[in-house]
Each structure stands twice: as C-alpha cells, then as structure tokens.
Amino acid sequence: MFWRFFSFIACQILGGLAGWYAASFTQAPTSGLVGILAGVVLAGVGWFLLDTSRGAHLLRWLRVGDASEAAMRTGLWGELSDRVRRLIRSREQMTIESQNRLHDFLLALQASPNGVMLLDARGQIEWLNQTAASHFGLDVQRDLRQHLGNLVRDPGFASYFASHDYRGELTMPGRDNTPERPVRLSVHLHPYGAGRLLLLSSDITAVEQAEAMRRDFVANVSHEIRTPLTVLAGFVETLQTLALNDQERARYLDLMAQQAGRMQTLVNDLLTLSRLEGSPPPGASEGISMPTLMRQLEQDARALSAVLNPAADHLHNLVFDSSLTGDIVGAPNELISAMSNLISNAIRYTPSGGEITVRTRLLPDDRAEFSVQDSGPGIAPEHLPRLTERFYRVDRSRSRDTGGTGLGLAIVKHVAQRHGAELKIESTLGKGSVFRIIFPASRVRPFGVGHDPIAGPVGPTH
C-alpha cells in the first residue's frame, strides 16, 4: 500500500511540475497555477488509467492465464498476482498429491485378491478392479457407466441387488461355473456416500470344497468306525446273553479281534496322515538303502500273500527286481509305509495266482523310479483322478472285504509330495495297473547300478 500511495503522490508531483514548466512559456499572470492544476489532474487520470489497466491485466491473467507466469512483478497488483500465483501452485501441488494418492489407492484395490466395484446412485459402474471383472465376466473399460443389473443376470443376484437390504452377503455361481468345475462367489454390497454402493466379491470355491471335504471326512470316519463297533457290540451282547460252548466263544472272539484290528488300522492310518500333514518335509540327513528295503518289502509281501491265499498253489507270482543299489534320501518310515501300501494294494486286489512285479531303477536323468505292476482287474479311467482322495473306493464292498481303509493311496500321495516325488497311476480295465513313485535326483544317492555294498549283486527274485 505504501508503494501504491507513494507512486500516486510522485505522479501528482511530476504532473504538477510538468504543467508549471509548460505554462512558463506563456505570459499570462495565472498560467503557472493553471498549468500546475492541469498537470496534476492529467497525471492523476493517467495514473488511474495505468492502474486500472494493470488490474484488468491481472483479472485477465486470473481468468485464462498460465499460473507458471507472473501477471506483473511490482506494485500492489504485482504483490497480489504473486500471492495468487503461489496459492495456485500450492493448490496444483495438492491436487497432484491427491491424484497420486488416489492412483496408489486404486492400484492397491487392483492388486486385491478380492473383487472391488464402485457403483453410483443409479447402480452404474464407476470403477472396478480386474478381479471383479473376472468374477462377473465384465470388461474393465467397456462396461464402465453400464448398469450392473443389466450385466449380471443371475436371478439370486438380481433379487439381492433389488432388495436394498445388504446386511448379509450372497453366495452365487461364478461366471465360469460348470457342473464339472463349480465356481462359487461370495458377494456383499455396502452402501456409502450419497446412495453409492461398494461391491466386494471373493471366490470361495476352495473354501466350500474344503468344507465339503471336512463333512465327507467326518461322515466317512464315523461310518468306518460305526460298522466294526456295531459288530463288536453285537458279539459282546451275544457273549453276555447266550450260553456258548468253547468253540463258539473262540469263533466270536476271533471275529471281535478282526473288527478291533480293523478299527486300529483305521486309527493308525488317520494318525499317519495327520503326522504327514503337520510335520516339515524330511531333510537329507537320513535315508534308506533300496536293496535292504526291497528285501524287507518282498518278505512282507510273501507273508501277506500267504495269509490271503491259504492254499499254496494259489499264491501270487511275486517278482522283485532292483537295479538301484543306492539310497533314497528321506524318512525311512514314510518310504516303507508308502511302498508297502502300493504292494499290499496290488496283492489284495489281484486274484490268486496273478502276477505282481515290484521294480526299482535309476532313470537316465538320475531320477529313481519305484513301480508296482499287477495283473489285476484294472481301474476305469473315470476313477483314476480320485484314487488318492481319502476314503475314495472304486468298489466299496470289495475294499472292506480285503481289509482296506480307503486311506492307503492318500498316504502314498502325501509321502511322495513330502519327498518331492511324483505319483503316477496307469491302469486298463482287464489288464491290470501300474503305480509309480518317481523320486527327484536330489533324493537319490547311488552307489553304482547293479551292486549292493552290503549283500552283493541284486537281481530279479521269484
């Protein structure tokens, strides 16, 4: 303000001096005074016009000018323009920072494993992430500003969307849902702002499958235990209420022992699975010699075949062939359990007199293969993908007759996975099956093909 007042006074003085100087060229006695007054008036008008022009220039700059350029640099209008320019730059910086924060926030929502969608008060899509687009089969760009009700035609969702009661969530089929591969979505709408809606969606297929598996597991365990318990209860009641001779009592006790053994086997298998799932993978500090393991497996297999086939002329034709003489690095008990399960399954399901070949060999890429091949009835292709599921049986009645719990192949699969190995199953109806466990090279510690450092050469045995 001081500079503005000073410039006005200076302009008046200069105008008065200029008027007096101009009047000095005339001879009129009052010309000096008139000249001074005229100069002051003209100087004031000129200063006013110039000041008004500077103000108009500033106003024009505020309307359409570039904030990076100052409208002027001196005087009141200069200071005002400088302060306005600083304010504009501060607001621009705040706007840029807000846009960056919004961009980061949208990137975070884009990276969310859940679907996120923003709807305006009319139900039109304002923004959605790629996950939500995948859940509902939408296009992130094309479907913006489209009404969600016109894009998602599921009757359950349409009813939920139109009810305006969003206190609970909706479970609906996903875009790629098929009977063979079900896809289930959890959808929840949350009102916010002036009538807007936030839609959150998540794929709960795995959760529902896990819950279904849990229910099936509990039902299967209950059923498997209930059956022998019912038999045991019946035998106990018989022993308590009927007068039996020694031979009858011994027969009933033998049957009770069989049912108790069946429950014990089931419990042991369940504990084995629980231990495999809850413990860390085996390290490289221990292992088992394959020739030694093969001799133990052969001894157990011949004993089991003799128990299942009391007649000597109906024993299975067992062939054990090992060309791998090194160690398999891992947990010995787990390896024995997995390989014994495969051999016992082959013996139980192969008719008397059938042939079973157990073989170990070193593959060209230094991996090791353990295989069990039988001449049994084979397995239909539709059953193969589910064989390693708990309690899954191709023939339930036959499995119970042979004493199986339905957990053997599940144990084999877990042992293979814990050792980084791969379980392969090949089968043809009427021609038998082949089960292979292929161990990675990191789990093989060979001493030389064809030689056991403990017992010498190893070859086929019959």
- What's phi and psi for 388, nearest 5 deg? -90, 5
pLDDT at residue 2 in the model: 59
The neighbouring-strand residues paired with 329 are 287
Amino acid at 418: R
Alpha helices in 65-138 (DSSP H): 75-110, 130-136
pLDDT at residue 212 in the model: 77
Return d(Cα 436, Cα 79) in angstroms, integer.
87
- Predicted model pTM: 0.54
pLDDT at residue 21 in the model: 67
Burial of 149 (0-12, 13-18, 19+ CB in 10 A): middle
Return d(Cα 89, Cα 290) in angstroms, integer.
78
pLDDT at residue 74 in the model: 58
With H, G, I as helix, E, B as strand and everything else as coil, classify residue 419: coil
pLDDT at residue 78 in the model: 67
Are the C-beta atoms of 155 and 163 separated by less than 8 Å? no
Sequence-distant (≥ 6) Cβ neighbours of residue 317 within 8 angstroms? 353, 354, 355, 356, 462
Sequence-distant (≥ 6) Cβ neighbours of residue 266 within 8 angstroms? 221, 224, 225, 405, 407
Please name the helix (run of DSSP H) or strand (run of DSSP E) that holds residue 381, with its range, or none: none
Are the C-beta atoms of 85 and 67 separated by less than 8 Å? yes
Instruction: Provide the residue count of the chain.
Output: 462
Sequence-distant (≥ 6) Cβ neighbours of residue 157 within 8 angstroms? 170, 172, 187
The third-level CATH classification (topology) of the domain covering 113-203 is Beta-Lactamase (3.30.450)
Query: If we measure between CA atoms, which residue out of 207, 144, 134 comes closest to residue 175?
Result: 134
Question: Helix-strand-coil percent breakdown of the chain, rounded to 5?
Answer: 55, 20, 30
- What's phi and psi for 135, nearest 5 deg? -60, -40
- DSSP secondary structure of 152-214: ---HHHHHHHHH---SS-EEEE-TT--SSS--EEEEEEEEETTTEEEEEEEE-HHHHHHHHHH
Phi-psi region of 414 (alpha: psi -120 to 50; beta: other; left: phi over 0): alpha
Return d(Cα 202, Cα 179) in angstroms, integer.
20
The third-level CATH classification (topology) of the domain covering 209-279 is Helix Hairpins (1.10.287)
How far apart are the two ends of the chain, measured CA to CA in Å?
116
Query: If we measure between CA atoms, which residue out of 202, 200, 206, 166 comes closest to residue 185?
Result: 202
Walk along the chain (462 residues) and give the pLDDT tens digit of each residue. Answer: 556 666 767 777 877 777 666 766 665 566 667 667 777 778 777 777 777 777 777 677 667 665 445 555 556 666 676 777 788 788 888 888 888 887 887 788 888 889 999 999 999 999 999 999 999 999 988 999 999 999 998 999 999 999 989 989 999 998 878 877 888 999 999 999 888 999 999 999 888 877 877 777 777 777 777 877 888 888 888 888 888 888 888 888 888 888 888 788 778 878 877 777 767 778 778 888 999 899 999 999 988 888 887 766 678 899 998 888 889 999 898 899 899 999 998 998 888 888 999 999 999 998 999 999 999 888 888 888 888 887 777 765 554 455 556 788 888 998 999 899 999 999 988 889 999 999 999 999 876 443 343 343 344 444
* Integer angstrom CA distances of residue 411 from 151, 201, 338: 46, 36, 7
Return d(Cα 361, Cα 196) in angstroms, integer.
67
pLDDT at residue 161 in the model: 92
Sequence-distant (≥ 6) Cβ neighbours of residue 72 within 8 angstroms? 54, 57, 58, 78, 81
Residue ranges of domains in the chain = 2-92, 113-203, 209-279, 282-457
pLDDT at residue 77 in the model: 65
Burial pattern 65-78, b for ≥16 Cβ within 10 A else e, equals bebeeebbeeebbb
pLDDT at residue 79 in the model: 66
Amino acid at 86: R
Number of C-beta neighbours around residue 241 at 10 A: 8
pLDDT at residue 457 in the model: 39
pLDDT at residue 96 in the model: 87
Kindly state which CATH superfamily the domain 282-457 is placed in: Histidine kinase-like ATPase, C-terminal domain (3.30.565.10)
